[in-house]
Amino acid sequence: MALEIQDPPVRSDREAEIAGLDALDVPIASARGNLARVWDGLWPKLTALGLFFFGWQAVVWAHLKPDYVLPGPITVLKALWHGAVDTGPSGSHVLLHAAATTMQRAALGYSISIVIGVVLGLAVSRSRILRAGVGSMITGLQTMPTIAWLPLAVLLFKLSETAIMFVVVMGAAPAIANGVISGVDHIPPVLLRAGRVLGAKGLNAYRFVILPAALPGLVAGLKQGWAFAWRSLMAGELIVIVAHKPSLGVRLQNARDFSDAPGLMAAMLAILIIGIIIDSLFFGVLERGIRRRWGLDRS
Amino acid sequence: MSALRLSPGRALEAAPAPAPGTPAISVDAVTKVYGPRGNHTFALDRISLDVAPGEFCCLVGASGCGKSTLLNLLAGLDSPAAGTVTVHGRTSLMFQESALFPWLSVRGNVNLALRLAGVPKSERDDRASELLRMVRLKGFGGKRPHELSGGMRQRVALARALAQNARVLLMDEPFGALDAITRDLLHDELERVWQETGISVLFVTHNVREAVRLGDRVLVLSSRPGRVVDEFTVDIPRPRRLDDADVSSLSGTITDRLRQEVRRHGA
């Protein structure tokens, strides 16, 4: 048996009073288990998904459009399954291969956007001149539709990976920069003062106080940036078709060219599923973690 | 012991080592002005005060007496328009809010202060444990600030302030937002920590009774411009209680003096 070192017994009344107040003041933690919490989050999603598929099927049953234009969910899910399982001429899974190409582009473009967005956001948020100069321009850039960048991208970089990266970064970086700016703007002044009193100056101030304090806004910006990156990427892939590079955008375009409605909707579903997975798994977990640490959890 | 001196328009600079009996804080004819030229108001007007090493000095004053301005000057967050501020040793400042960093645990907050104060990594954990034990929060190191009560957070803030190895502790109404029972206990705790560490304290409050309960000396400030208008030495033996007859009667005297100062602005 391990030797347990015990605290000295409570000595004075004063100590007992303090310990008593502390015990009374500490909130009682909720006893709900992990599995129950996962289920709490899961069942509304599953119900919503069921309702969505049912609504879709109901529209198909109504025969507003012929089947070969608007197929039902079962046909599309089958096409999705075949796309994932069937192998193409090169021996790889067609849809998975396309999704992999798209995800690689997304990862690269998004990473570049994060670097540019965070640096730009920090610079603008801390400098009055930069804020006056480019602050509103960043918001303006964010309202510019990605598709409007595409002709320029093609002129500048031809039909290349670079053109796609260009529109992704133009879409995502301003959103991330804006998130950083609002994150820094909403830091309670008393935390900045506390940081200065503790002696956090220059780079240390950023590292130990400003960046962590701006984290909630930063994550909101990253999330929005992701949505912009994903959308821009799809627009880019639809227009900028790089030879021998099957991507989700290319699959959309091909399916339209061949009037393959199930294939088209299967690709759309794949785009939607990837978006949801990244949003709920990655950003959902990140945001929940921050809310819990900050004590903003309402549950 | 190193000293820091603040003069008009200059950053903190080192002052020569103090002779014995030199005050821990010395404010000499300091003026601080706000607002545009020609239409400015004096936050502080030629204010002078000293705090002896190891002394517990309380400042009371109505709104607009420039208390926060003065503490900012002493903490090196601002510089005076005229006059000199000399502080021997590092200062640390506690606010009405705990201002703990919500992304760090209780121990993390204390550790960060130690790190920024240049304490080597190998010593930080032991030192943090020691400080948390001093404020009686030994078992709470892993908690987040939001999981603690207001009183506990202020004790963590005290531990964090002490972690800076400061010789002077500046306190800006640190117990103003606490309930009466907690505040009462924290008075005892602060008094104990002050006696154990020998730190000099400059404690700003609206609460005259609190000032008399805690202070060796109570300074009364006037408002707009802020200036020391009166000084009371508290000879009541420690430990004191908020409801001691001596504490009450001296509080009454100081309150009257303060009201007289406030009336001046209504005339």
Residue-wise pLDDT for B119-128, tens only, equals 999 999 999 9
Give the strands of the sheet with B228-233, arranged side by side.
B91-94, B168-172, B200-205, B56-60, B217-221, B228-233
Q: Is residue A3 very low, low, confident or very high in pLDDT (cuts 50, 70, 90)?
A: very low
**What residue has token string 């009541």?**
B236
Q: Is residue A27 very low, low, confident or very high in pLDDT (cuts 50, 70, 90)?
A: low
- Secondary structure class of B5 (helix, strand, coil): strand
Q: Retrieve residue A15's tokens.
A: 């100590």
Contact criterion met (CB < 8 Å) for B151 and A21: yes
Return the residue of A nearest to B74 by Cα. Answer: A197
Q: Retrieve residue B46's tokens.
A: 């030629």
Q: Which of A241, A248, A236, A242 is nearest to A96 (CA)?
A: A248
Q: Residue A172: which region, alpha, beta or left (left: phi > 0; alpha: psi -120 to 50)?
A: alpha
Cβ pair B70, B27 in contact under 8 A: yes
**A175-182 mean pLDDT:** 92
Residue type, B193: V
* Distance between CA atoms of residues B215 and B202, nearest Å: 9
**A143-159 mean pLDDT:** 89
**How many contacts, defined by CB atoms under 8 Å, are there between A and B?**
78
* B103 in A contact zone (CB under 8 Å): yes
* Distance between CA atoms of residues B204 and B95, nearest Å: 10
In angstroms, what separates the C-alpha of A296 from chain B's closest C-alpha? 9
- The pLDDT score that the predictor gives to residue A208 is 94
CA atoms within 13 A of residue A180's CA, in its CB half-sphere? 27
Q: Which of B216, B243, B256, B214 is nearest to B232 (CA)?
A: B216
User: B interface mutation test: which of A11, A13, A197, A215 has the most B CBs within 10 A?
Assistant: A197
Point out the least confidently predicted range of A282-286, B127-131, B229-233, B247-251: A282-286
Contacts with B239 from chain A: Cβ below 8 Å: none
Which residues are CB-contacts of B35 (< 8 A; sequence separation ≥ 6)? B41
Contact criterion met (CB < 8 Å) for B151 and A200: no
Q: Is residue A40 very low, low, confident or very high in pLDDT (cuts 50, 70, 90)?
A: confident
Nearest to B99 among A194, A212, A295 (CB): A194
Check residues A122 and B43 and name the one with the higher pLDDT. Answer: A122
**Does residue A69 surpass a pLDDT of 50?**
yes
Q: List the domain boundaries for chain B.
A: 3-90+166-266, 101-165
Q: Which of A99, A46, A52, A136 is nearest to A230 (CA)?
A: A99
Nearest to A199 among B103, B117, B147 (CB): B117
- Secondary structure class of A274 (helix, strand, coil): helix
Contacts with B113 from chain A: Cβ below 8 Å: 198
Nearest to B103 among A7, A18, A293 (CB): A293
Q: What is the pTM of this model?
A: 0.80
Q: State percent of chain B over pLDDT 90.
A: 52
Q: Which of residues 184-223 of B touch A (CB under 8 A)?
A: 185, 188-189
For residue range A270-297, list pLDDT tens digits in order: 998 898 888 888 898 888 888 888 887 7
Q: Which domains does chain A have, with CATH numbers?
A: 72-85+94-293 (1.10.3720.10)
User: Which residues share a beta bridge with A93?
Assistant: A87
Q: Which of B61, B72, B64 is nearest to B27 (CA)?
A: B72
- The pLDDT score that the predictor gives to residue B120 is 93
For residue range A205-223, list pLDDT tens digits in order: 999 999 999 998 999 999 9
**B50-77 mean pLDDT:** 88
Q: Is residue B201 very low, low, confident or very high in pLDDT (cuts 50, 70, 90)?
A: very high
Q: State chain B's mean pLDDT as an integer.
A: 87
CATH (residue range B3-90+166-266)? 3.40.50.300
Q: What are the residue ranges of helices labelled H in chain B?
A: 67-74, 106-116, 121-134, 150-163, 180-197, 208-214, 245-266
For residue range A229-272, list pLDDT tens digits in order: 999 999 899 888 887 788 888 888 888 888 889 888 988 999 98
- The pLDDT score that the predictor gives to residue A120 is 93
Cβ pair A151, A112 in contact under 8 A: no
For residue range B88-105, list pLDDT tens digits in order: 888 899 998 999 999 999
CA A224 to chain CA centroid, nearest Å: 6
Return the residue of B nearest to A201 by Cα. Answer: B116
- The pLDDT score that the predictor gives to residue B212 is 95
**Does residue B4 surpass a pLDDT of 60?**
no
Q: What is the DSSP string of B137-161?
A: -GGGTTS-GGGS-HHHHHHHHHHHH
In angstroms, what separates the C-alpha of B149 from chain A's closest C-alpha? 5
- The pLDDT score that the predictor gives to residue B15 is 44
Q: What is the DSSP string of A88-128?
A: -TTSSBHHHHHHHHHHHHHHHHHHHHHHHHHHHHHHHHH-H
Give the strands of the sheet with B41-51, arranged side by side.
B13-15, B3-6, B82-88, B25-34, B41-51
